[in-house]
Amino acid sequence: NAGVTQTPKFQVLKTGQSMTLQCAQDMNHNSMYWYRQDPGMGLRLIYYSASEGTTDKGEVPNGYNVSRLNKREFSLRLESAAPSQTSVYFCASSLVTGMNQPQHFGDGTRLSIL
């Protein structure tokens, strides 16, 4: 069981570039989440998806879009990257439906915007 898989693990972008962070879970979980982790800030929820085809904004959604095309995958897109989006991004999933009960986390994507 792989759990929650995130790709890529590391990425460096220039300001204005776009990219998509991929996340997939093989636990048949309904809920999936994207968080960003910044020093001294804890984890902050960017977007949440309760099920395929549904998404909700979290605490810090500006500058991001998400897509939940199927139950397994939940992608996070930066349309025009900004230095303030330099962070470590974590995808998470949960069998429990609810915006704020992540149970399993991916290994993270370390993203640097120059």
Partner 1 sequence: AQSVSQHNHHVILSEAASLELGCNYSYGGTVNLFWYVQYPGQHLQLLLKYFSGDPLVKGIKGFEAEFIKSKFSFNLRKPSVQWSDTAEYFCAVMQKKSSGDKLTFGTGTRLAVRP
For partner 1, the binding residues (CB under 8 A) are 4, 40-45, 90, 92, 98-108
What is the closest distance, in whole angstroms, from the C-beta atom of residue 23 to partner 1 in the complex?
A: 12
Choice between 17 and 37, CB closer to partner 1: 37
Quote the least distance from Cβ 16 to partner 1, whole Å: 30
Quote the least distance from Cβ 18 to partner 1, whole Å: 25
DSSP lists the bridge partners of residue 44 as: 36
Question: Do residues 46 and 76 touch, judged by C-beta distance below 8 A?
Answer: yes
Closer of 81 and 111 to partner 1 (Cβ): 111
The CA distance from 114 to 65, in Å, is: 20
Query: Considering beta carbons, is residue 26 or 79 the nearer one to partner 1?
Result: 26
* Residue 76 contacts residue 34 (beta carbons within 8 Å): yes
Q: Please tell me the distance from the alpha carbon of residue 11 to that of residue 33, in angstroms, as a whole number.
A: 20
